[in-house]
Chain A
């Protein structure tokens, strides 16, 4: 730079404000525009992802209905407060299972799960990963490992006698030492992720199962009692 360049008259403050302010306005306009344009597509994607996953986690289900489980009972989903659950039915409207979400801290980030609860056996019949950031090749074995998936053929979530918590907490145990139906056999090499699955299921089931039990009838009538989605 020459001396001349160093003596450039200082930029008036107003111009700096104008430049930054103007750019911020333009930026705000563009971001809001992008948000508005993509919003319907994103919502559709999310709905489809959940729907696909509900049908995948409840085998045989062809119809589903959303409910909210609250302290005052179970009611059809209306956007209010409560734990959202998805009931899956077969063609005849028979309740096959209830899908609910759970999440717990894994190795990298929260592991978000969707699990299927089967009221007939009071057990968890399957899990699907909604979202996670676990190490590819290690933590993501919870999806691909057949031995691990076998934990969820009938994972016990019976309520205790008082009906306010699970009779047995769901726990993740060391690989190869599963003895009880409420235990999850961890994957060696992916222990932290396996534990996160156990924790997510336990937290969610502890909160949800006591709310569901008194209202099973309503969910079972689901399809005939109202409009299915």
Chain B
């Protein structure tokens, strides 16, 4: 290897996925579950946690076997690893709550093709030590979960007048149904991106002034 990879685990390893490289708001990955299952806060949270588990577990296994897996078959191996953990999550969610399972629908199985996970396996876990990969993957997972929650909370409040199933505004509130429908996902995502971009630009301008 031409350059040595830093093996130390720092806060930055974890925080990377939370803010600077947030999978949804910065890297724009995993848009399919982001838009599809965030119609309520609880769905968003469960999807985020399921993805975090798959991300962390597959990151660990990929990093563990990084010197054993020949590069020619690495993608196939990664997919097998990811699919294994997704199947386990699928069973776990069925065991926890069938209502939740039905609400998330096909998107649990579709975690397999979530590009955040394969991306992390290929770009990070296959080059770093297991513990560091786990920390980084957990950070990415938490970042993804928070991003989904950002969407889910706004969409549930506006689209159903409730939060985590608890009614907020009473019976007189007429929900904006569009918010729990697919267009609402795009609108809210656009809103959040606008907000973050505005923060970023303001920060840059302040730096310039100084």
Q: How far is the CA of A23 from the CA of B98 in the complex (A)?
A: 30
CB contact under 8 A between A19 and B80, given known A31-B87, A34-B92, A137-B159: no
Contact between B181 and A20, CB atoms less than 8 A apart:
no
Per-residue A-contact encoding for B79-98, CB less than 8 Å = 1, 0 else: 01101110110011011111
Is B39 positioned at the interface, with any CB of A under 8 Å from its CB?
A: yes
Q: Shortest beta-carbon distance, B3 to chain A, in Å?
A: 12
Is A24 positioned at the interface, with any CB of B under 8 Å from its CB?
A: yes
**By the criterion of a CB under 8 Å from any partner CB, how many residues of chain B are at the interface?**
33
Contact between B92 and A20, CB atoms less than 8 A apart:
no
Q: List 23 A-B contacts (CB under 8 A).
A: A11-B70, A11-B71, A11-B72, A19-B69, A19-B70, A23-B81, A24-B80, A27-B84, A30-B84, A30-B88, A34-B91, A34-B92, A37-B91, A42-B94, A42-B95, A45-B94, A45-B97, A45-B98, A49-B98, A136-B180, A136-B181, A137-B177, A138-B181
Is B109 positioned at the interface, with any CB of A under 8 Å from its CB?
A: no
Contact between A20 and B159, CB atoms less than 8 A apart:
no
Is A2 positioned at the interface, with any CB of B under 8 Å from its CB?
A: yes
**From B81, B91, B97, B102, contact of A38 by CB (8 A):** B91
Contact between B181 and A137, CB atoms less than 8 A apart:
yes
Which chain A residue shows the least CB distance to B57? A30
Is A228 positioned at the interface, with any CB of B under 8 Å from its CB?
A: no
What chain B residues lie within 8 Å of A143 (beta carbons)? none
Q: Shortest beta-carbon distance, A108 to chain B, in Å?
A: 9
Q: How far is the CA of A15 from the CA of B69 in the complex (A)?
A: 8
Which residues of chain A from 22 to 56 have a CB within 8 Å of any chain B CB? 23-24, 26-27, 30-31, 34-35, 37-38, 41-42, 45-46, 49
A residues whose Cβ falls under 8 Å from a Cβ of B: 2, 11, 15-16, 19-20, 23-24, 26-27, 30-31, 34-35, 37-38, 41-42, 45-46, 49, 131, 133, 135-138
B residues whose Cβ falls under 8 Å from a Cβ of A: 2, 39, 65, 68-73, 76-77, 80-81, 83-85, 87-88, 91-92, 94-98, 102, 105-106, 159, 177-178, 180-181
What chain B residues lie within 8 Å of A131 (beta carbons)? 102
Contact between A38 and B72, CB atoms less than 8 A apart:
no
CB contact under 8 A between A23 and B102, given known A38-B94, A136-B180: no
Contact between B91 and A35, CB atoms less than 8 A apart:
yes
**From A16, A24, A27, A136, contact of B72 by CB (8 A):** A16
What chain A residues lie within 8 Å of B95 (beta carbons)? 38, 41-42, 45
Which chain B residue shows the least CB distance to A12? B70
What chain B residues lie within 8 Å of A27 (beta carbons)? 80-81, 83-84
Q: Shortest beta-carbon distance, B155 to chain A, in Å?
A: 10
Q: How far is the CA of A30 from the CA of B60 in the complex (A)?
A: 15
Contact between A19 and B87, CB atoms less than 8 A apart:
no
Q: How far is the CA of A94 from the CA of B83 in the complex (A)?
A: 50
Contact between A38 and B92, CB atoms less than 8 A apart:
yes
- List the 7 closest A-B pairs by CB distance, nearest first: A41-B95, A34-B88, A38-B95, A27-B84, A11-B70, A137-B177, A38-B91
Contact between B77 and A136, CB atoms less than 8 A apart:
no
Q: How far is the CA of A42 from the CA of B102 in the complex (A)?
A: 13
